[in-house]
């Protein structure tokens, strides 16, 4: 399966390091050339000799290791690699990588790597949730690292919560997806909308919502990786536009509608993941509104925005149209109503009142309703994994046309 694939497996010093042996063995048995690099602390949890026996390659622990055919180990090991995967990644190693610190063989090799990068954090719950760790993980994500979020459960320290390394089978499935990306959407043109819209009140204030755009961006990236040509129309977010995707920034619902209509006829699949404001201020002030003494209330007159999904549904010819419904109650009832009312082919619904599946988090759990009457429920997973779940449903629907 992985013939001619060179994989560098980095192992840092956490209790989950022992699971690296199973991953190294699986990769090797499936034809990969696996080269392990360990931090000195990792060698205290699993012997390098175990990994060498499983991979049939020397294991790098020390930057100054030498032997027949060895050059500069942190350079040579990553040369021509197809993937560099750090499993598990401790808070310390993540912090070093984010800061560009190269004080051991593994972190030095990361700086020298010119291949896709994958990391699976594993640590104590409080260490994982610490703002410094979260910022470091976001930094790596912004640089293009593939992040596999930790699972929740009983940890070695006795705590219960986030921070557990995912099951080996789940990690193997994610590595397989990265090493052997499906091209099942090749030849298709996708239009994906993401993020919130903003509606001005005056030159310095506006009405918006809590959407981060993470779900829409994940769908755009996943569609790109599966071979599609993607146009991402995005409201204001703090996310970096994905490489290899045509990107168009908009602000208001009206500007998003214009962008969608301009591209609509040439698209095969439209995924409306943006959170569009339902109303806008009827007459935004030309100058900043000032507080006035003695006036404790202000009334803004709102008017309805154009309904982008409904307009696309009305104009639909050959396109597969997928809408989203972010609800806080009666999720299925409202989603089914929206599916019919907007003339969509699929409706992706999620309960944004959940802390683990709402706005501005990295995980999601969705239910897909189709015009054919299907109901598909995804597991709680990263938004990238949820994106692939949605695209699997899209591919299945296209196959039935």
Statement: residue 136 has pLDDT above 80: yes
307 annotated ligand binder: yes
What confidence tens digit (pLDDT) does each residue in 190-219 have? 999 999 999 999 999 999 999 999 999 999
- Give the chain's largest Cα–Cα span: 85
CA distance 312 to 321: 8
pLDDT recorded at residue 157: 80
Asked whether the CA dihedral 108, 111, 116, 118 is positive or negative, the reply is positive
CA distance 279 to 345: 25
388 annotated ligand binder: no
Which of 115, 157, 260, 267 is flagged as catalytic?
157
Statement: residue 295 has pLDDT above 90: no
pLDDT recorded at residue 361: 87
Local structure of residue 305 (DSSP, 8 states)? P
DSSP string, 112-140: H--S-EEEEE---HHHHHSHHHHHHHHHH
- pTM for this structure? 0.74
pLDDT recorded at residue 67: 63
pLDDT recorded at residue 359: 86
H-helix or E-strand containing 54? helix 48-55
96 annotated ligand binder: no
Q: Which of 401, 389, 307, 305 is nearest to 348 (CA)?
A: 389
362 annotated ligand binder: no
Residues of the chain with CATH 3.40.50.10300: 189-286+295-400
Residues of the chain with CATH 3.40.50.1950: 6-179
What confidence tens digit (pLDDT) does each residue in 87-108 have? 999 999 999 999 999 999 999 9
What is the CATH number assigned to the segment(s) 189-286+295-400? Answer: 3.40.50.10300
CA distance 100 to 77: 18
CA distance 81 to 47: 24
pLDDT-derived band at 68 (thresholds 50, 70, 90) equals: low
Q: What are phi and psi of 12, to 5 degrees?
A: -105, 170
Local structure of residue 274 (DSSP, 8 states)? -
| Rounded alpha-carbon distances, angstroms, from residue 83 to 77, 115, 164, 172, 180 | 12, 6, 23, 13, 11
Mean pLDDT, the chain, integer: 93
Can 267 be counted among the known catalytic residues?
A: no
The second-level CATH assignment, the architecture, of 6-179 is 3-Layer(aba) Sandwich (3.40)
Give percent above pLDDT 90 in the chain. 79
User: What 3-state DSSP class applies to 336?
Assistant: helix
What confidence tens digit (pLDDT) does each residue in 212-267 have? 999 999 999 999 989 999 999 999 999 989 888 999 999 999 999 999 999 999 99
What confidence tens digit (pLDDT) does each residue in 6-44 have? 999 999 999 999 999 999 999 999 999 999 999 999 999
CA distance 310 to 330: 21
Q: Which of 272, 266, 216, 204 is nearest to 245 (CA)?
A: 216
pLDDT-derived band at 66 (thresholds 50, 70, 90) equals: low
338 annotated ligand binder: yes
Q: Which of 298, 389, 382 is nearest to 119 (CA)?
A: 382
pLDDT-derived band at 72 (thresholds 50, 70, 90) equals: confident
Q: Using an 8 Å Cβ cutoff, are 398 and 318 in contact?
A: no
pLDDT-derived band at 368 (thresholds 50, 70, 90) equals: very high
> What average pLDDT score do residues 290-315 get?
92
């Amino acid at each position: 399966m992985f013939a001619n694939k060179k994989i560098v497996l980095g192992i840092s010093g956490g209790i989950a390091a022992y699971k690296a042996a199973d991953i190294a063995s699986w990769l090797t048995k499936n034809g990969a050339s696996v080269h392990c690099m360990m931090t000195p602390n990792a060698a205290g949890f699993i012997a390098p000799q175990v990994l060498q026996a499983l991979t049939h390659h020397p294991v790098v622990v020390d930057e100054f290791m030498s032997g027949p055919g060895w050059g500069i180990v942190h350079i040579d090991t990553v040369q021509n690699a197809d993937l560099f995967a750090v499993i598990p990644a401790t808070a310390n190693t993540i912090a070093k990588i984010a800061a560009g610190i190269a004080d051991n063989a593994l972190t030095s090799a990361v700086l020298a790597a010119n291949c896709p990068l994958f990391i699976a954090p594993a640590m104590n719950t409080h260490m994982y949730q610490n703002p410094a760790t979260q910022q470091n993980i976001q930094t790596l994500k912004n640089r293009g690292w593939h992040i596999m979020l930790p699972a929740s459960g009983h940890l070695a320290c006795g705590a219960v919560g986030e921070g557990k390394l995912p099951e080996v089978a789940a990690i193997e499935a994610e590595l397989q997806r990265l090493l052997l990306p499906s091209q099942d959407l090749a030849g298709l043109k996708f239009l994906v909308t993401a993020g919130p819209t903003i509606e001005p009140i005056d030159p310095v204030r506006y009405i918006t919502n809590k959407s981060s755009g993470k779900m829409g961006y994940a769908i755009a990236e996943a569609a790109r990786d599966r071979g599609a040509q993607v146009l991402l129309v995005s409201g204001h977010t703090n996310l970096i536009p994905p490489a290899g995707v045509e990107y168009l920034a908009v602000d208001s619902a009206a500007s998003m509608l214009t962008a969608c209509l301009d591209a609509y006829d040439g698209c095969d699949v439209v995924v409306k993941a943006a959170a569009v404001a339902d109303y806008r201020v009827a007459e935004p002030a030309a100058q900043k509104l000032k507080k006035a003494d003695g006036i404790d209330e202000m009334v803004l007159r709102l008017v309805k925005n154009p309904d982008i999904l409904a307009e696309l549904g009305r104009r639909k010819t050959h396109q597969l149209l997928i809408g989203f419904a972010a609800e806080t109650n009666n999720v299925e009832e409202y989603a089914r109503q929206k599916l019919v009312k907007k003339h969509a082919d699929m409706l992706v619904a999620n309960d944004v009142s959940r802390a683990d599946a709402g706005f501005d988090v990295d995980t999601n759990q969705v239910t897909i309703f189709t015009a054919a009457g299907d109901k598909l429920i995804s597991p709680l997973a990263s938004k990238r994994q949820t994106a692939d779940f949605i695209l699997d449903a899209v591919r299945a629907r296209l196959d039935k046309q």
